[in-house]
Chain A
Amino acid sequence: MAMLIATWKHCVYVFSTGLEDEVDTFQEEHERERHRGKRRDGERAKKKKRGNGEGRKRASRAGREEEKLQARREKKGRRKKSSSDQEAEGREGDEADQPTTKSSKAAKTRKNVKNEKTRKVEKEEKEDEADDEERNRKRKKKHGSNKKEENVEDGNTVKEKAGEVKKKKHKKVVETSSEKETSEEEDNEEEDSEEKEVRPETLTPEELEMLKEAVDERKKLIQGLRGKPWAMKKKLVTLRESQEFVDKYEGALGKGKGRKLYAYKVMMTKKWMKFKRDFENFKTACIPWEMKIKEIESHFGSSVASYFIFLRWMYGINMILFCLTFGLVMVPEALMGRPYGTIPRKTVPRAEAPSAMDFAVLWDFGGYAQYSVLFYGYYNNQRAIGWLKFRMPLSYFLVGVGTVAYSYMVVIRTMARNANESGVGDDNSFNFSWKMFTSWDYLIGNPETADNKFASITTIFKEAILEEQESRKDDNIHLTRFLRVLANFLVLCCLAGSGYLIYFVVRRSQKFALDGLENHTWWERNEVNMVMSLLGMFCPMLFDVISALENYHPRVALQWQLGRIFALFLGNLYTFIIALMDEINLKREEENIVKFNITTWEASHYNISASENSTSPPVTIQPADVPRGPCWETMVGQEFVRLIISDTMTTYITLLIGDFLRAVLVRFLNYCWCWDLEAGFPSYSEFDVSGNVLGLIFNQGMIWMGAFYAPCLPALNLLRLHVSMYLQCWAVMCCNVPQERVFKASGSNNFYMAMLLVILFLSTLPAIYTIVTIPPSFDCGPFSGKKRMFDVIQETLESDFPAWFSKVFSSASNPGLVLPFILLMQNEENKKKNKLAALKAQMDLEEARKAASPSAEHQKNNNASPDQEADEEEDRGRSQRMYHSKNGRSPPPHRHYGQLPATRAPVPRNYPHGNQGSAGYLPSFPRENEARMHRVPSLQRH
């Protein structure tokens, strides 16, 4: 109760200003505050004097009434004062009142308490309450045209209502009154007389509507409250008042007959809000590593933290991918598929069996690991497995597709969101202002980082000043040019060299593989991966050295560096893939031979068994003894897994040696060394954000590439990221120093995302290529026995769906129809988005020239004039908008077609394809190819 009382203090104040502020800009708020402050100061002295008479108690009610009348006469002039004055008075009055109040804790609230008392007394006079209420409403309506006034008015009515609420609350307070209080009360007299109970029964529908509006407005206020630039106290009070108002009048609205639905709706919204909040709380509680990242952020600034946030985001994506592959592919096969050892593809061949459990073999993902759910080859081509009739091959295929589709979706959406969030950017018109007002990173909470930041800001300013003063003349432009060309030449040599090296190594490893791996050393077996990892480690350093030649501005240099590393990684990856393709071809030749051999082997086997014992069924052959093909898919999967493993290992080892060992040496050898190690040459390492991000991105690219052939890859990657998170967090905190040149983190986010998208695209290409062009192995994997992997879709359609469906589908899936349709859908999507933006802009515009209503009518009439392109577009947009608001989701196809001539294009193209042309899956539309071509650009404007 004490707390409740405490908050009354500001009620009058808040209600007089609250609703105005809602529509006001921050600016106005600002202004007002200023005036208020000044005025309040002025009033203060006056009020002090007036407070003297307080403390005297009224003998009787009659006396009070008399006094009141008198006071009213006296104070008439003052009534006109702004509400802020009242508020100020209120405060002062409180101050003086103190001794008379009962609740000692909430000393400041006394005045309000008294107000309530007097009001309560007045409440008895209420007779014509309904009339008053109506008067209020009418007044409100009158001012409808002028927004500002309306709001003030609103504020008043709300104030009155709040007054009532207060009255009720304080009924129990002992009646203590004073001259001062009464006179104070006179200010509010007018309003008080109107403060009456609202009886829903007495309200007309219009009034109800008004009330509903007011309630909604309050609700909106509550929702937007956190975005208001007010002090917390004010917010709290406003919140309380609004909530009470809403509670009270929502109840009133709900009482009448036929309004039960409304009450119910309100209740459900409340529950829903509560649930949403709880869920929100839960969600934030679930975000991992928040504190870790925060700590790093305060030590190293936002750019280093952005790497870890990126890492966490990556972790999330991989979690989803892992769930997909694990839940829909690996687990079903392991639980419901035929167990290990029942069929050849699920058994280690006899020749490999003795070494199948050796650690070295397992580490290479051979032996038992190779013949397990981890790899493509293990999966059986049985159409449905287990009691669930789980369609394994289909699931395998769809998961592969889903992985890629999901990744695309997430990356693109994140990019879009980032693009929305970041400012317009790269406009140079506010160069200095931005440098001044946004260069300090408020996240920094570490003196060392702060020092670096100060230094870098100073440098930035000096550079900018220099640039501003004169466009610097390069003293020897020819030398610089020569050096840059030289540097690029060197880099190209590096790239070509690394590409060749990888190609060479891969070819050599094939030779080794043909010889049999057992005859070679560990290095020879792991050469490819090691070379790739080492190249990835040392080439960037080399580039760094080379870029010193170029003498670029650090930011430009960073971009060059990133670009080069990107090229290096990409080159390496693609060389690797090309070499792998060679290997696949080799394997396929091998497979053909094996296939031939098997038929002869089988023939001979059966001949033998038939000749030996013609009556008994064929002798059961141990699955381990059956000759089998090389299964190139598993080979590809293995390669990728090995690559990931060695990549991970190199990363960790680099981390330990390059960062940790270096830090330890520098730290402890410093005591007995001839120069200062910490400040001088080796010093501590910096955290290389761009390099690490690139590493992460390429790692992810490999996952995407290999995930189809090795379902275990996402799981491995998850593990890797998890360990990385902890290891790198630790390494950063314990052995890195903050960067000297701190680059801005924002904007780079989308830069990383763009790289990720490119990598995603480039890494799905080879995977798709192999899936589409190369026939699957004949004796391993879920698609064995099919001509192409995607035949599984066809098969499912034919056998699991009714005949008409597959017919419809096959005709609908012909590319001539599908492609335009997809394009259109995207177009539609864009349009929706743009329309929202356009709508918003339009609303703003309309508000700006709200008085000019004829224009709206004009627009309405435009339906009749189709030649006005722009207006027509607008109208269409509007109708569609209305449609959306009614229907929520996307419109049904025919509606959609009706609105967009553009969608009509594909149909004519479909006719040549024949027999299904007359089928009822799409209504036939007039051919409007020309119109479409003409249309599309104009649609995109929205």
Chain B
Amino acid sequence: MGNKQTIFTAQQLDSYQDCTYFTRKEILRLFDRYRDLAPQLVPLDYTCQPDVKLPYELIGSMPELKDNPFRQRIAEVFSDDGEGNMTLDDFLDMFSVMSEMAPRDLKAYYAFKIYDFNNDDFLCKSDLEKTLNKLTRNELTEDEVRMVCEKVIDESDLDNDGRLSLEDFQTMIVRAPDFLSTFHIRI
């Protein structure tokens, strides 16, 4: 089979398989995808761990992400520097979490981070408003947005502090029928 690949050492591939939900083939395919974004930047040899980062502009232009209203958040959450510039490791990490195989808890954790726009570890009203506006492309009136956000907090805020903590979020999302099937990017 494709034993001739020299991009990674066998050991590296094994480690990646241990750290992600991907098989060997998928990792190589992801690498190809990654490299396709900027062939001039990404070397074909990863055995010596080159320090390569792709800027967010490139990551966000992937077909998988480019129509996603939350693409910037996704990139920010998974990138090491928090600004959406991704190394291959971050890239693999991102798609591993978004893959079918990832468990609900892990997905919920990252979903929370994605919806937490201001990184304060709580989903407060402004986060919810941003989420909603992104979802509907600002089609709702302000009153409607406010009302929906109030409803959401009303429903899910278990400790009554006016914002959603990770715990609240998990309790809510774990029971959602659609979460697993929609929080998922096939690569």
Contacts and interface: CB of A to CB of B under 8 A. Distances in A.
A831 to B, nearest CB: 26
B32 to A, nearest CB: 13
B131 interface: yes
Contacts of B98: 442
Given A284-B25, A438-B173, A746-B177, A445 B63 contact: yes
A361 to B, nearest CB: 48
A422 B104 CA distance: 10
A547 interface: no
A573 B63 CA distance: 45
B178 A436 contact: no
B175 to A, nearest CB: 5
B15 interface: yes
A336 interface: no
Contact of A445 (B25, B64, B115): B64
Contacts of A298: 63-64, 186
Interface in B77-99: 80, 87, 89-90, 92-93, 96, 98
A260 interface: no
Contact of A429 (B19, B49, B155, B179): B155
B166 A26 contact: yes
Interface string B20-43: 110111100000000000000000
A671 interface: no
A429 B186 CA distance: 30
B179 A232 contact: no
Contact of A744 (B87, B167, B178): B178
Contacts of A233: 80, 89
Nearest to B19: A235
A225 B152 CA distance: 33
Contacts of B184: 302, 442-443
B56 interface: no
Contacts of B173: 437-438
A866 interface: no
B6 interface: no
Given A105-B48, A436-B128, A440-B70, A229 B109 contact: yes
B69 interface: yes
Contact of A34 (B49, B93, B121): B121
Contacts of B128: 436
A434 B174 CA distance: 10
Contacts of B144: 461-462, 465
A895 interface: no
B15 A443 contact: no
A237 to B, nearest CB: 10
A285 interface: yes
A423 B136 contact: no
A298 B65 CA distance: 10
Interface in A200-244: 222, 225-229, 231-233, 235-236, 239-240
A439 B169 CA distance: 15
A430 interface: yes
A281 B23 contact: yes
B142 interface: no
A427 B175 contact: yes
A417 to B, nearest CB: 13
Contacts of B20: 226, 232
B103 interface: yes
Contacts of A425: 175, 177
Contact of A442 (B12, B137, B156, B185): B185
B172 A442 contact: no
Instruction: Indicate the member of B18, B49, B169 with the most A CB atoms within 10 Å.
Output: B18
A748 B92 CA distance: 31
B177 A231 contact: no
B148 A432 contact: yes
Nearest to A229: B109
Contacts of A27: 166-167
Given A225-B19, A442-B98, A232 B175 contact: no
Interface residues of B, number: 76
A232 B34 CA distance: 16
A429 to B, nearest CB: 6
A302 B179 CA distance: 12
A908 interface: no
Interface string B151-187: 1100110000000001101101111111111111111
A813 to B, nearest CB: 44
A454 interface: yes
Contacts of B23: 280-281, 284-285
Contact of A285 (B25, B69, B182): B25
A interface majority secondary structure? helix
A200 B127 CA distance: 56
Contact of B152 (A227, A231, A436): A436
Nearest to A277: B17
A437 B176 contact: yes
A280 B26 CA distance: 12
A746 B26 CA distance: 25
A497 to B, nearest CB: 38
Given A297-B186, A433-B152, A437-B115, A3 B179 contact: no
A3 B155 contact: no
Contacts of B185: 442-443
B54 interface: no
A226 B15 contact: no
B57 interface: no
Nearest to A455: B139
Interface in A522-538: none
A555 to B, nearest CB: 13
Contacts of B25: 281, 284-285
Contact of B96 (A222, A226, A447): A226
A432 B105 CA distance: 21
Interface in A390-439: 421-427, 429-434, 436-439
B135 A457 contact: yes
Interface in A292-347: 294, 297-298, 302
B52 interface: no
Interface in A435-477: 436-447, 449-450, 454, 457-458, 461-462, 464-465, 468
A741 interface: no
B158 to A, nearest CB: 11
Contacts of B96: 226
Interface of B: 9, 12, 14-15, 17-21, 23-26, 47-49, 63-70, 80, 87, 89-90, 92-93, 96, 98, 102-103, 105-106, 109-111, 115, 121, 128, 131-132, 135-137, 139-140, 144, 147-148, 151-152, 155-156, 166-167, 169-170, 172-187
25 contacts: A3-B9, A27-B166, A30-B109, A225-B19, A231-B90, A232-B87, A232-B92, A233-B89, A239-B19, A277-B17, A281-B25, A426-B177, A436-B128, A436-B152, A437-B115, A437-B179, A439-B135, A439-B182, A443-B184, A446-B67, A447-B67, A457-B135, A458-B139, A465-B147, A744-B177
Given A226-B20, A436-B135, 12 more contacts: A30-B166, A227-B106, A232-B90, A236-B89, A294-B186, A423-B180, A433-B155, A434-B176, A436-B132, A446-B67, A458-B136, A744-B181
Interface of A: 2-3, 6, 26-27, 30-31, 34, 105, 222, 225-229, 231-233, 235-236, 239-240, 277, 280-281, 284-285, 294, 297-298, 302, 421-427, 429-434, 436-447, 449-450, 454, 457-458, 461-462, 464-465, 468, 744-747
Which A-B residue pairs are the 9 nearest by beta carbons? A232-B89, A450-B67, A425-B177, A746-B181, A432-B151, A235-B19, A458-B136, A438-B178, A232-B93
